[in-house]
Copies of this chain bind each other. A is one copy, B any other.
């Protein structure tokens, strides 16, 4: 076998041998797509129709095409799986790359994993899967049983990253509809962190961070659940970082 490991540059030996002579690497993307449904964190899963892991659930994903970047491929898969048309504004972020040999029993697959956060509009279409016999479904994170391949680990990594990023970014608005109340934003935090937050302090913190939220142009307020004082509406601001961070309290009681 040709030894390329002492090569100092990047791929400088490629010209020297047949590009097709070796077992190729397949490059795929895997997506951990999160949303909030009925006050619980849900993840988008697809059911596999073929071996290996036929009948098992897995993260959606697919091949990176020859002319695509991994980001482009991920956004394309996301649009296909969720059926959402305007996927341009959806928050999509690279998580990390999983490359252990043997993670796919058939061949060498290197997978770039992404995390996506989206808000389901009230009348959003159910995910329809991507053809074949596969179906797609929103699944509560806690019920996302054993998945195919190493997707359990990918999903856990993605979940952890989302929780951590909530502390120092404005990411939480990605789970909210275009206009939302501060109470809804707080519920997003409480659901993702599994903690209770003090409402007055949360409110002050959010409003004191420039660019986190801005009042909705319509001065309108909305009734939360029928009862209670109507809440002011806000929309996501332009800021992306959160200084100072919103610290997650030590694990305490669950939100009511």
A residues with a Cβ closer than 8 A to B are 4-15, 19-20, 22-28, 30, 46-50, 53, 58-71, 76-77, 80-81, 94, 96-97, 99-101, 104, 106-112, 129-132, 134, 136, 148-149, 244-245, 247
Contacts and interface: CB of A to CB of B under 8 A. Distances in A.
18 contacts: A4-B65, A5-B80, A7-B131, A9-B58, A9-B148, A10-B59, A10-B148, A10-B149, A20-B20, A24-B24, A25-B26, A25-B27, A25-B64, A25-B110, A27-B110, A64-B99, A69-B101, A70-B110
Nearest to A70: B99
Given A10-B148, A64-B110, 16 more contacts: A5-B77, A8-B46, A8-B47, A8-B81, A8-B130, A8-B134, A9-B134, A10-B30, A10-B61, A11-B28, A19-B24, A24-B25, A25-B25, A25-B27, A27-B99, A110-B112
A4 B66 CA distance: 12
A53 B19 CA distance: 20
A244 B74 CA distance: 35
- Give the 5 A-B CB pairs with smallest separation, nearest first: A24-B24, A8-B134, A8-B130, A70-B99, A6-B131
A50 to B, nearest CB: 5
A111 B132 CA distance: 31
A25 to B, nearest CB: 5
A14 B134 contact: no
A23 B19 contact: yes
